[in-house]
Amino acid sequence: MPTDVPKVTLNNGVQMPILGFGVYQIPAEETEKAVTEALAAGYRLLDTAAAYGNEAAVGRAISSSGIPREELFVTTKLWIQDTGEESTKRAFDASLQRLGLDYLDLYLIHQPIGDVYGSWRAMQRLNCDGCVRAIGVSNFYPDRLVDLIEHNEITPAVNQIETHPFFQRTADQELMRQHGVNLESWGPFAEGRNNLFTDPLLTEIGAAHGKSVAQVVLRWLIQRGVVVIPKSVGAERMAENIEVFDFELSGEEMARIATLDTGNSQFFDHRDPAMVSRLSKVRIHE
């Protein structure tokens, strides 16, 4: 029997699995197989994005799985090129069509760049019309997040941000909690950077529980109430990454993992002007 994944309740009452499957950097031609295997392993939350170029493959895997739609939780994201009120509606429809779905569970603004206010107005309407069950953002630092909250009707249900042992985001999480925004981690393993998978402390804690470093990291995030979406193209690792509900980290172990925080990204800073320019030039369609 596949693992029963617990759910978090978002600020609008929608329930979201606390663990799902991310498909960033899985080539489109490999994505259908990967998602099919993830669904067989028990994953029900799928995280893709228009910019990943693999929404159609995710859709094919969903369709051939035979899993009832209401058992799935599907997230995709709006790219910078499509920000703005009118473009967002078009981009949403195009994503939905590629996914072969008639509604989405969660739609995120992928980056805090471009006309995100126009996009948010369109997303609020999509949410009210029942086209998407929850709306949120990604890569928003606290100032951008609070500004969006203060000037709109609907507070984002989720902020998906880089979160892993070397960049723990505890203060950001506390601020989000105060505003009712759930933290979703991207890059829970920091994509293996900084030797995460051989980190001595995480290895030692894993050994004490008969668990891998990957399982310790996911468990640590889940115990913090953070939604996780690890990516793997290996069926064995998919199974490993979902087997995290049969052990618990002690308060002392949680405190020891807290010491690994560097407070810095392992990737790049979304507030870096050069990066804002670079991302703004990334086009995903004509």
Other CB atoms within 10 Å distance of the CB of residue 263: 10
Stretch that binds ligand NAP, among 64-72, 123-131, 191-199, 201-209 (CB under 6 A): 191-199
CB 110 within 8 A of CB 82: no
Is residue 52 annotated as part of the catalytic site, yes or no?
yes
Helical segments of the chain, H only = 28-41, 55-65, 85-99, 116-128, 142-150, 170-179, 200-209, 213-223, 235-242, 251-258, 273-280
Block residue for tokens 């009707």: 153
Q: Does 23 bind ligand NAP (CB under 6 A)?
A: yes
DSSP 71: G
Q: Could you give the CA distance from residue 56 to residue 28 in angstroms, rounded to a whole number?
A: 8
206 touches ligand NAP (CB under 6 A): no
Type and span of the H or E element at 271 = none
- Which has the closest alpha carbon to 64: 35, 93, 96? 35
* Residue of minimal Cβ distance to ligand NAP: 22
Contacting range for ligand NAP; rule: CB under 6 A; set: 54-62, 99-107, 115-123, 190-198 = 190-198
Q: Which is nearer to ligand NAP, 21 or 133 (CB)?
A: 21
> Which entry of 52, 103, 107, 141 is annotated as an active-site residue?
52
- Contacting range for ligand NAP; rule: CB under 6 A; set: 55-63, 91-99, 188-196, 272-280: 188-196
Instruction: Tell whether 110 is in a known binding site.
Output: yes
Nearer to ligand NAP, 84 or 187 (CB): 187
Q: Should residue 42 be labelled a site residue for ligand NAP when binding is judged by CB under 6 A?
A: no
Tell me the β-bridge partners of 227: 184
For ligand NAP, the closer of residues 55 and 253 by Cβ is: 55
Binding mask 226-255 for ligand NAP (x = CB under 6 A): ---xxxxxx--x--xx--------------
Three-state secondary structure readout of 120-177: HHHHHHHHHCCCEEEEEEECCCHHHHHHHHHCCCCCCCEEEEECECCECCHHHHHHHH
Binding of ligand NAP at residue 47 (CB under 6 A)?
A: yes
Under the rule (CB under 6 A), what is the footprint of ligand NAP? Answer: 22-25, 47, 110, 138-139, 160, 186-192, 197, 212, 214, 229-234, 237, 240-241
Residues of the binding site = 110
